[in-house]
Structure 1
Amino acid sequence: MKPADIFLATLVAVIWGLAFVASRLALDELPPTLMTTMRFAIAAVPCLFVRKPDVSWPLLIAISATLFLGQFLAQAFGIAHGVPVGLASVIVQSQALFTIAFAVIAFGEVPTRMQTVGIAVAAVGLLMICGTVGYDFSVGAFAVLMICPVSFAVGNLLLRRARDVPMFDLFAWLCLASAVPLLALTLIVDGPQPARHALLNMSPTGVISILVIGAVSTSVAYWLWGRLLRDHTAAQVVPFALLVPFVGAAASSMVFGERFGPLRLAGMIVVIVGIAIMLLSGRSRSVPKIA
């Protein structure tokens, strides 16, 4: 990779890590459904200027419902109900574990020996984290947050079917496909008047946070990430995502004073080590077809 591309990959990871802090700040003023709606409404603005990519509506909706709507709505609910930001950033990256596991089922991709070791290590880390649930956040909040990496993983696999399309256009329309049902959900769950009141009474911090989440973290960062994956192999690009939980945890510690107990910190480190083993161990091989 060129130095410029290495810089962009690192920049995207930093943006995504800081986005967890921005999400927490926005959730102090907006309910999870409204905050997620605003995130994708802002990121969908480019749809006014770009055409829908050559992807069928069923596939577009399926990718949007998993990669974006399911992932980020679960993330918002988990953080809003007490899951620490730093921990959330680690849990989200466990999507690598689920992506490899689901690829076995969907595409017959057999993990390599080292990937299997990575899955086992990451699973142990998640179990260690589970041992800390109930002290400063509920089991229910943790269960909702776990929807995030599972949904993320399914979206990753569905995204494979959207090939040879402009990445910026695709992600803009994915955001639109998420914003529309989220708006309906917001009106049902929160109500029109409370939602309007919350938006009109946002502080400058809340406004800046939601703009950063929508315009920078969702629109620009995903576009840059898609370009990097288009121009380089996944093995070169994806490992940069390992920086996200470190940035998220460090930023949360500085902004919110988040502290990690020995078991939770050890579990977070074990998860990241397991993910690193999976991402750096090479590509899965396909199951041989039976004649």
Structure 2
Amino acid sequence: MTQRALSTGDLLRVLGVVLIWGLNFVVMKMGLQSLSPMLLGALRFTAASLPFLLFVPRPDLPWTYVVAYGLAQGVGQFGFLFLGLKLGMTAGMASVVMQTQAFFTLLMAVTLLGERARLVQWLGLCISFAGLLMIAGAHGEGAQQMTLAGFVLTLGAAFMWAVSNLVARKAAQAGHYEPFPFIVWSSLVPILPFFALAWWVDGPQQMSAQLLAFDGKALFAVLYLALLATLLAYSLWTRLLQRHPAGRVTPFSLLVPVVGLVAAMTLLGEQPSSLQWAGTVAVLCGMLVNQSGSWWAGRR
């Protein structure tokens, strides 16, 4: 089966996703200054779903796909990621480590969905994976340093992102659906689990204190994460997964760290170590190998 090339509209969708998700990590750090990880997750998905349910029709899909995506992408990915950022993962390195999802996605797409991958795709992702191992070896425990706990939790978040990619791809094979309603209704799924986890982890008194101290910075973080990072970016991302194989789409997310690192250095004053920079370069080189091989094969 011949893979169709990405159109100009597809490339614009990729650019929008890269910019929104690149800044996303700095905004998460901002929100976690006044909100706990679980409460931030609950408020994010509340704002991304409840205001739109009366106006957005339910996607024409079995509930299985909606619930599975909401649990994987909502509770799984962002539960792990928010907790990792709270426990010492730097915003810049989080934007890099999250791209392990491309490796996980390609592996599962081949083994579970039967998608075909070229040798150059494996080569590129192996180079990127080697870069991620270099980054993992540069963990520390001081201020502005990436902790091992933060790295492991972020790696778990990347795996859950890959799972959600496969759910979206499987849903596209089951029938046509519009991405925006799918994201709105699947965002309804994580709300109760996140509030329950916040109640269990933080306790009712701490939850009340956080909500009473809710300020403009927290409001900006919740709205950015809900409206831009969740509804807009994931709608664009899901559209790409509908149109192209998962192994072709997901490597583009490796461009997110370029924006994430620059934003973290500029806005948060983070300074990656030499080994982390080397690992980041390897990750981006792997992405270039992956995509240049795919583009060349497509041109032929």
What amino acid maps onto 1:114 in structure 2? V
Residue correspondence of structure 1 range 87-166 to structure 2 within 5 A: 87-135=93-141, 136-163=145-172, 164-166=176-178
Q: Please give the alpha-carbon distance, in whole angstroms, between the structure 2 residues aligned to 1:112 and 1:143.
A: 29
Q: Which moved more, 1:148-157 or 1:230-239?
A: 230-239
Q: Which moved more, 1:110-119 or 1:232-241?
A: 232-241
- Deviation (angstroms), 1:229: 5.0
- The gaps in structure 1 that reach 5 residues or longer are 284-291
| 2:270 aligns with one of 258, 268, 277 | 258
Q: Please give the alpha-carbon distance, in whole angstroms, between the structure 2 residues aligned to 1:30 and 1:204.
A: 12
| 2:71 aligns with one of 65, 78, 87 | 65
- Deviation (angstroms), 1:228: 5.0
Q: Please give the alpha-carbon distance, in whole angstroms, between the structure 1 residues aligned to 2:189 and 2:81.
A: 18
What amino acid maps onto 2:124 in structure 1? G
| 2:194 aligns with one of 182, 187, 195 | 182
- The gaps in structure 2 that reach 5 residues or longer are 1-5, 296-300
What amino acid maps onto 2:62 in structure 1? S
Tell whether 2:183 aligns with 1:171.
Answer: yes
- Judged with a 3 Å threshold, the aligned counterparts in structure 2 of structure 1 residues 140 and 33 are, in CA distance, closer, same or farther, namely same
- Deviation (angstroms), 1:222: 1.7
Q: Which moved more, 1:17-26 or 1:202-211?
A: 202-211
TM-score (ref. length: structure 1): 0.88
What is the match of residue 30 of structure 2?
Answer: 25
- Deviation (angstroms), 1:155: 1.3
Q: Please give the alpha-carbon distance, in whole angstroms, between the structure 2 residues aligned to 1:267 and 1:2.
A: 31
- CA contact under 8 A between 1:90 and 1:272: conserved in structure 2? no
| 1:273 aligns with one of 258, 262, 285 | 285
Q: Please give the alpha-carbon distance, in whole angstroms, between the structure 2 residues aligned to 1:101 and 1:111.
A: 9
TM-score (ref. length: structure 2): 0.86
What amino acid maps onto 2:31 in structure 1? A
Cα displacement string for residues 13-53 of structure 1 (whole angstroms, at most 9, x for unaligned residues): 11111111110000010010001111111111322322221
Tell whether 2:232 aligns with 1:216.
Answer: no
State the secondary structure of the residue aligned to 1:134.
coil
What is the match of residue 49 of structure 1?
Answer: 55
Cα displacement string for residues 183-230 of structure 1 (whole angstroms, at most 9, x for unaligned residues): 222222222332122022122122112111111211122223334555
What is the match of residue 12 of structure 1?
Answer: 17
Equivalent pairs: percent with the same residue? 34
- Judged with a 3 Å threshold, the aligned counterparts in structure 2 of structure 1 residues 11 and 233 are, in CA distance, closer, same or farther, namely same
Q: Please give the alpha-carbon distance, in whole angstroms, between the structure 2 residues aligned to 1:249 and 1:190.
A: 31
What is the match of residue 39 of structure 2?
Answer: 34
